[in-house]
Chains A and B, each alone.
Chain A
Amino acid sequence: METTLSDILQDIRSIYYYAPLAIKVAIIFIIVAVSATVLAYLVMLRSRYRNYRQQRRMARMLPKIDELLMNEIIANPNIPHDVAPSKVALDLEPFDELPLHKRWGREMLTERIIHYRNNVSGTAGDLLRNLYLQLDLDKDAMRKLKSRHWNKKVEALNEFTLMDMPIADVTILPLANSRNRELRAAARQAYIKLSKNEPFKFFDSVTDPLLPWDQVELYRIITTTTDIAIPNFARWITYSSNKSVVSFCMKLVVHYNQLAAVPAIIKLLENRDHTLRAEAIEALGRLKIAEVEDRLVHLYTSQPLFCQIAILKALGRIRSGRHIDFLRNEFLHSTDFDLRKAAARAIVKNEIMAREVIDELLATTTGENLLILKHCMNPLIKY
C-alpha cells in the first residue's frame, strides 16, 4: 500500500492527539527549539554571507580607491597651487570607474577618504574634503542624519565632524538634548567641533541635567579640541536656569582661569542651593581669589557642613595667611572630624606663614588632633 505525505501527517496528528499532556508539551518545545535554532543559523549565515560579500568588494575596490586618491589628490602634480584647495575644480572623471551609483560604493569611498584625512592634513586634507563635497558624498550623511535609527545618526555626526562639515543649528541642537546618551554625546561633540563662533550655544537649550558622565565627556571634548572660541562662561553662570550647566561652567572657568567670570561666581555665594554654593566656594578657592576670603570666613557659621568644608579647603588653596587664627580655632575646637581635618590641611597649606602655628600645635595637641595634623603634614598622603 502506498503511503502519502497526507497519511504521514495524519499519523503524526493522531499520535499527538492521543498522547499524554507531558508528551504534547515536549513535542511543542522541541518544535519551537528546532525552529529557533534553524532561524538563528539562517541569520548567522546571512550575516556571514553579507560580510563575505563586503570583504570581496573591499578587496576589489580599495586598491582602486587608493590608486585614485593617490593619483588625483595626494600626489597629483596638476593641482594648481595658486588656488585655495577648497576651490580647486577636481577632475572627477577617473572616479566614474567606481560604482558610486551604489550605496556601498559611496560608503566605501567615504570611509577611505576619512581614513586618509586622519593621516594627512594641510592641502592634501583640504583636497580630500573638496573631493567629498564634489562627489556629493555629504548627501548620504545628511540622509543618515534624518534616519529613525540613532546609530545611523551617530555615524552621520561622526562623519560630519571628521570631514569638518558645518551642520545647521536646527538640525543638531535637538540631537544635543536627545534622551539617547550616545547620540547626545556625539551631537554635543559635533556641535563643539563644528560651530566655530558659538560652540557652547547648546548650553542655552539644555533642559535636562547634565549627568556627571556627560560632564566628564564634555570636559574632555572641550579641553582637547583645538581652535574653538572660548566664551565668557559667566553668561551661563548668571542666567542659566539649569543648575548642572552652572556647575559645569564653573569647572570650565577654573580650567581656563577666567577671572572675568569671578563676579558671577561670587554672586552664587548667595544662592539658596547648597550644592551650587559649595561649588562656587570651591571654584573661588581654585582660582585663588584672595578678595573673597573675608566673606567666606564671615559666611562660615551659617553654612551646612559640606559648605564649611569647602570654605576651609578654599582658604587652604588661597594661602594668603590672613586667617590662620580662624583655621587654628576650627582645628582645635570643632567637634566634627572632617572639619578638623580640612582646617589642619588648610593650615599646613599656608606653609611659611603658618609655621609658628604649626610648631605650636605640634607641641601642644595630643591624641586624635595630633594624628590629624601629622597626617596632613605627610607630603606622601594627598587625600
Chain B
Amino acid sequence: MGKILLVEDDEVMPKIIARILPPPEYEVDIAVNGKEAIQKLEANHYQYDLVITDIMMPYANGFEILSKVKSHEREKPIPVIIVSNAGNEDMIMEGFKLGVDDFLKKPIIPAELVIRVKRLLMRNK
C-alpha cells in the first residue's frame, strides 16, 4: 500500500487521482494549498510514500513543498512528482535542481501517472 500526499488547488484533479489510485492499494491524502500540505507533512511526521504536487498554489508553492520534503532527513527521501500546467523550461529545470523525481505536464494521461507512481513506489520500497 502506498500513502500519497496530493497537493492540488484544482477541485477536479484530486477526484481524478483518487479514482485512478484507488484504496486499498493507495491511500491518497489531499491538501488544497501549500500551507495545508506542510501542516499535513509535519502532523504525519513525513510518513508518506510519495508526494504529488502542483506548482502554482496559494500560501506556499510546489517548489517550497519540494524543498521541505527533500530537506527532511529520513532513511529514504520521499519521492516527489510535480504535476503542473505551468511547465516551462525554467520551471522544469528548477524542479530537477531541487530534486524532483518526476515532472508531468497537465493535461495528464491518467494511465501514465499510475505507471509513474507505481515505479517510484517500487523504487523506494
Contacts and interface: CB of A to CB of B under 8 A. Distances in A.
A187 B101 CA distance: 40
A120 B111 contact: no
A118 B107 contact: yes
Contacts of B108: 119-121
A117 B16 contact: no
Contacts of B19: 70, 74-75
Nearest to A117: B107
A138 B17 CA distance: 28
B110 A70 contact: no
A145 B63 CA distance: 41
Interface string B2-28: 000000001011011001100000000
B85 interface: yes
A316 interface: no
B89 interface: no
B12 A124 contact: no
A199 interface: no
A118 B13 CA distance: 10
Nearest to A224: B88
Given A74-B19, A120-B16, 6 more contacts: A66-B12, A75-B19, A75-B20, A120-B108, A120-B110, A121-B109
B73 interface: no
A41 to B, nearest CB: 33
Interface of B: 10, 12-13, 15-16, 19-20, 85, 106-112
A119 B13 contact: yes
B10 A119 contact: yes
Contacts of B10: 119
A70 B107 contact: no
Given A119-B106, A122-B112, A74 B16 contact: yes
Interface in A330-345: none
Contacts of A118: 85, 106-107
6 contacts: A74-B19, A116-B12, A118-B85, A119-B13, A119-B16, A120-B107
A109 to B, nearest CB: 14
Given A74-B20, A115-B12, A124 B85 contact: no
A125 interface: yes
Contacts of A75: 19-20
A124 B110 contact: yes
Interface in A116-134: 116-125
Contacts of A124: 109-110
| Chain A residues touching B, range | 10 to 19
A120 B109 contact: yes
A75 B110 CA distance: 9
B16 A125 contact: no
A23 to B, nearest CB: 57
Contacts of B16: 70, 74, 116, 119-120
A226 B31 CA distance: 32
Interface string A175-214: 0000000000000000000000000000000000000000
Given A70-B19, A75-B19, A75-B20, A119 B111 contact: no
A166 to B, nearest CB: 20
B110 A74 contact: yes
A77 to B, nearest CB: 12
A193 B109 CA distance: 21
Contact of B15 (A66, A117, A122, A123): A66
Contact of B109 (A66, A116, A122): A122
A47 B121 CA distance: 51
Closest A-B pairs by Cβ, 4 of them: A122-B109, A121-B107, A75-B19, A120-B107
A116 B19 CA distance: 13
Interface in A19-74: 66, 70, 74
Contacts of A120: 16, 107-110
A122 B111 contact: yes
Interface in A78-130: 115-125
Contacts of B12: 66, 115-116, 119
B123 to A, nearest CB: 24
A290 B20 CA distance: 57
A124 B114 CA distance: 14
A124 B100 CA distance: 26
Contacts of A125: 107
Interface in A206-258: none
A70 B85 contact: no
Task: Report which residue of A75, A115, A119, A123 has the largest number of chain B beta carbons within 10 angstroms of its beta carbon.
Answer: A119
